[in-house]
Amino acid sequence: MEMVNFMNDSTLIKTELWFLAFDIISIISTLLSIIFGLLYLFIIIRHKTYSPVQMLLVCNSSVAIILLSCILLNMAIFTLQHDLQQSSEKNNPFCIILGFFGYCTDGLQNYSYLLTAVYQYISVVYPNKIIWRTIKFQFCLILVIWIVCILYSLPLLVTGQIIYNIDNQICQIPLRLSLPMVYVATIIYIIPNSGILAVYIKLTRYVHRMSSRAISNHTIFHARRELKLVQRTFILSNTLIVIGLPYMIFVLMSFFTSPPKYHFRIAYICADISVLVVVIIGYCFTPKIGAILRKKLSRSTPVEPITIRYTART
């Protein structure tokens, strides 16, 4: 009787060797993302590498990517444990909660980039709108984005759209042409990334028009600097899209035919690596951070004392 109950709750599956390799790579990638993300957050706060409002926005993006990395790490650990046990649990609340927070933090990261791009656009096109560029106003916008990213995912959890996928050992919305899938793709990817692209194009055209007019060099310099920051934000968001392209391919494929059996395993290892790449790119884009790291490393390197020998004259 106990054996029957076990078989009803848990099903034995065959584990391929490459499953374990993918799981380990995902764990290493997400763990490095958390470590590098926390170090990055500490450095920019400690050394004040940005202006106060930009610091707030960058910290928001950093916290979002750290939280996303934590969720992805727990997903990878969960998958590895069940791959090693060669078993599955169809009704695992922890797995479903991980899937829920995965959608929340993914949206939070994308919208944090959109908020940064919009702020930089406003600071150039509407420099007299001081209230839009205050810390208080931007903090309120960040709070709204956090609330929205949690609320938009709640219907997926309440209606049971996030289900356990036995083959991939993960809890996600099944990839197929359905209202929940279109809903998630629109809110998480299409809206924020389209917004960042629109801001980048509009600001590029605005700066080019400014350059052709008789405007002070200081104003043009400020506009070009903000354009450069928007360009960096655009690169960060597109890095996630390009490296995570397999996921979008599988989503589009599922609208017409069944995706490969292990599509989530392939998609999520790309997503885990893309998050790590974005964190590393953040280091490259941050002013003075290279000098700060080199200074810290040079201090930690021990210097051998120089011994000077004197020869007595006779």
Please give the Cα distance from 226 to 192 (Å, whole number): 19
69: nearest Cα among 279, 238, 285: 279
What single letter denotes the amino acid at residue 264? Answer: F
pTM of the model: 0.84
H helices within the chain, ranges in order? Answer: 2-9, 17-47, 52-85, 93-125, 135-151, 154-158, 179-184, 191-211, 217-243, 245-254, 263-285, 289-300
Please give the Cα distance from 295 to 288 (Å, whole number): 11
**Domain 22-284 belongs to what architecture?**
Up-down Bundle (1.20)
Rounded to 5 degrees, φ, ψ at 212 are -85, -5
Query: pLDDT truncated to tens, each residue of the chain (314 aa)?
Result: 333 333 344 556 677 888 899 999 999 999 999 999 999 999 888 877 777 888 899 899 999 999 999 999 999 999 999 888 877 667 788 999 999 999 999 999 999 999 988 888 888 888 787 888 889 999 999 999 999 999 999 999 999 899 998 888 899 999 888 898 899 988 988 898 888 888 888 888 877 777 666 565 556 666 666 667 777 777 777 777 777 778 888 888 888 888 888 889 999 999 899 899 989 888 887 767 767 777 766 765 554 444 444 344 43
